[in-house]
């Protein structure tokens, strides 16, 4: 059984490199996230190959459309056999409920993206959305929970207050993770694995600190060790 809390972001721009990289990891020590770029390029065949290597796959396509279309897309994604998919909470409760219903009885887990971290207060005002990003994130996360979703993607820095509001069983999936000595890359608000776990994160999405490491498997093991000692 895989009890690792790490989801490695497989952010590569070609299938061969992505698969070769995945093969250097150990499917008992992590899960894998495939996003829009790689999926658009390599499609369901890549997912199948990753699953054949033993990985649980999080297909990060962030569906956002009318309820009927999102439900159909969720159903097809689930039939690929992926472990988890996501939708935008901003699609509203009808869309979230339709997505949830499409996965009833299936093993695929469903989470929501609340606000994109690229959106600041001014971007939201421009769209006519008032209130602080923190409050909006909280409202969208609780909406996703009421609609029966399994969790949300959120910053590790927001996880503590969401954990308090949403209770212990709601999954909080946190990106922007860096060890204290890692390069921050383009991430502005980072947290260490220890901080993320202490704030109540369920799974940590980690990309470049593992994918760009000279020894990815060792980096993965180091992250897992840090997480285990923070639990
Ligand atoms: O390489 P790095 O660890 O920064 O990668 C983080 C992954 O998490 C990327 O795939 C990125 O798109 C994703 N992500 C993020 N911030 C969010 C949501 C997703 O960095 N708010």
Residue-wise pLDDT for 98-118, tens only, equals: 999 999 999 999 999 999 988
Query: Helix 133-146 to helix 156-166 angle, to the nearest 10 degrees?
Result: 50
The whole-angstrom separation of Cα 137 and Cα 218 is 35
Is 98 a member of any domain?
yes
Task: Please state the atom number of ligand 1 nearest to the C-alpha of residue 208.
Answer: 1
Does pLDDT of 1 surpass 80? no
Q: For the residues 14-18, what does the mean pLDDT come to?
A: 97
Confidence band of 19 (pLDDT split at 50, 70, 90): very high
Is 201 a member of any domain?
yes
Ligand 1 pocket, residue 207 CB under 6 Å: yes
pLDDT of 176-197, one tens digit each?
999 988 888 888 788 999 999 9
Is 132 a member of any domain?
yes
What is the predicted pLDDT for the residue at 67? 98
CA-closest residue to ligand 1 atom 16: 175
CA dihedral 231, 195, 132, 146 (to 10 degrees): -10
Is 127 a member of any domain?
yes
In the set 62, 94, 106, 218, the catalytic residue is 62
What is the predicted pLDDT for the residue at 50? 98
Ligand 1 pocket, residue 193 CB under 6 Å: no
Q: How far is the CA of 138 from the centre of ligand 1 (A)?
A: 20
Domain tally, the chain? 1
Range of the domain at 69: 6-230
Ligand 1 pocket, residue 179 CB under 6 Å: no
CATH number at residue 141: 3.20.20.70
Is 1 a member of any domain?
no
pLDDT of 55-77, one tens digit each?
999 999 999 999 999 999 999 99
Which of 7, 8, 9 for a ligand 1 pocket mutation test, highest count of atoms within 8 Å of Cβ? 9
Is 195 a member of any domain?
yes
pLDDT of 77-93, one tens digit each?
999 999 999 999 999 99
């Amino acid at each position: 059984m895989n009890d690792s809390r790490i989801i490695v972001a497989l952010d590569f721009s070609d299938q061969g490199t992505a698969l070769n990289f995945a093969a250097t990891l150990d499917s008992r020590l992590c899960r894998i996230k495939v996003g829009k770029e790689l999926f658009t390029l390599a499609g369901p065949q890549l997912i199948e190959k990753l699953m054949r290597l033993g990985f649980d796959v999080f297909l990060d396509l962030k569906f956002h459309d009318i309820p009927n279309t999102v439900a159909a897309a969720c159903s097809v994604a689930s039939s690929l056999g992926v472990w988890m998919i996501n939708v935008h909470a901003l699609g509203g409760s009808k869309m979230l409920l339709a997505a949830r219903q499409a996965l009833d009885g299936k093993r695929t887990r469903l989470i929501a993206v609340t606000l994109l971290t690229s959106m600041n207060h001014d971007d939201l005002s421009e769209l006519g959305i008032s209130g602080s990003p923190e409050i909006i994130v909280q409202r969208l996360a609780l909406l996703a929970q009421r609609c029966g979703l399994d969790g949300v993607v959120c910053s590790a820095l927001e996880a503590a207050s969401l954990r308090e509001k949403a209770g212990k069983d709601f999954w909080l999936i946190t990106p922007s993770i860096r060890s204290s000595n890692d390069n921050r890359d383009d991430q502005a608000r980072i947290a260490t694995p220890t901080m993320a776990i202490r704030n109540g994160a369920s799974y940590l999405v980690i990309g470049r600190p593992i994918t760009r490491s000279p020894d990815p498997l060792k980096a993965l093991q180091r992250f897992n060790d840090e997480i285990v000692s923070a639990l």
